[in-house]
Structure 1
Amino acid sequence: MTKELEQKFAKELEQHQSIIHKVCRSYTNNEAAHKDLFQEITIQLWKAYPKFRGESKFSTWMYRVAFNTAISLYRKKKRNVETTQIYDNLKELEYHDYDDSIDKQLKLLYKAIYSLNDIEKALALMYLEDKSYKEIAKTLGISEVNARVKMNRTKTKLKNILNP
């Protein structure tokens, strides 16, 4: 991979790393697991980046890779992630702590999202990111109509969890 491509990847990753934090927050329940999953998603994004064709937004592609990685690790219950040294340009990527303790409502929302199934988690997070149903459908590989139906069911489920 060329130096220019590495720099482009590092810039995109830095710009959109909040996506990774949101996915991590939904699939982990402690800071150590969050950091491990963040690192694993970053590694998987790096490995998959040469195959990124730009047919969708970088952030949409990033969601898909992040969700697939999180779901794969979650299902396997594999939390012991090996650390990998990434090229010099990626060493400068700073890990920004995601502090959800500031807002109690946000913490409750993430707790509720954590209790959802994998697809519902993905839907809720993308909805919170103001992704269109078209983008959500493309990311999850479902129809736009199916995304709308699933999202409505997920909203209802979240309301019931948050307001029993």
Structure 2
Amino acid sequence: MGSDFYTMSILPYAAIIVKICRAYTNTQADFEDYYQEVCLQIWRSKDNFNGDAQWSTWVFKLSLNVCLTYLKKNKNNTFVSDLLPDVAIADSQISAEHDIEQLYAGIRQLSEVDRAIILLYLEEKTYVEISEIIGTNPNNIGVRITRIKIRLNKLLNIEDL
């Protein structure tokens, strides 16, 4: 993969790729494998991008499809709560990262489609954008997001999400 392609076409979307890969993996090793595979598939499939959607939407869909494919192949994943590297960080960062990790743990308990929907919602995508990526009606997205939030509230034992 050329460094120019990576720098121009993948790196600007690395944050969403990371979020998707984290939501569908339980270990650091799996995360790294998924991330690498997503980047490889984006590079391999770049010529298939026809411009019908935005590049970011296409990257999200491709990332999601790669992770779902890998997930189906690797049903024997075990839960490991700490995906973050061992680094010295301040207590407030530890608390924030712990909260984020708890959120990802809750998201990992959702169905594959619900994971995708909540990740898109957290990325502040519109209902129309989410429906285009997921392949459903925009009116259904709002209802599903509400149900997902309720489920996450129960999974995480919190009052309001």
TM-score category (smaller protein)? 0.7 to 0.9
Q: Which amino acid aligns with 1:64?
A: K
RMSD between aligned residues: 2.3
Structure 2 CA distance for aligned equivalents of residues 34 and 77 of structure 1: 12
Within a 5 Å distance, the mapping from 1:2-81 to structure 2 comes to 7-8=4-5, 10-77=7-74
Structure 2: runs of 5 or more not aligned: 77-82, 86-92
- Match status 1:122 vs 2:116: yes
Give, in angstroms, the shift of residue 128 of structure 1. 0.7
Aligned CA distance change for structure 1 residues 136 and 98 (closer, same or farther; 3 Å): farther
For the 8 Å contact 1:21–1:98, the answer to whether it is kept is no
Match of 1:30, as an amino acid? T
What is the distance in 2 between the residues matched to 1:118 and 1:112?
12
Q: Distance in 1 between matches of 2:132 and 2:139?
A: 12
TM-score computed with the length of structure 2 as normaliser: 0.80
TM-score scaled by length of structure 1: 0.79
Cα pair 2:21 2:67 within 8 Å, conserved:
yes
Distance of 1:134 and 1:98 partners within structure 2: 33
Q: CA deviation at 1:8?
A: 4.9
Corresponding residue to 1:141 among 135, 138, 149: 135
The corresponding residue for 1:154 is: 148
How many Å apart are 1:98 and its aligned residue?
6.4
Q: Give the length in aligned residue pairs.
A: 143
Identity %: 30
1:75-127, Cα deviation, whole Å (9 max, x unpaired): 12189xxxxxxxxxxxxxxxxx9669662110110000011110010011111
CA distance in 1, matches of 2:15, 2:116: 14
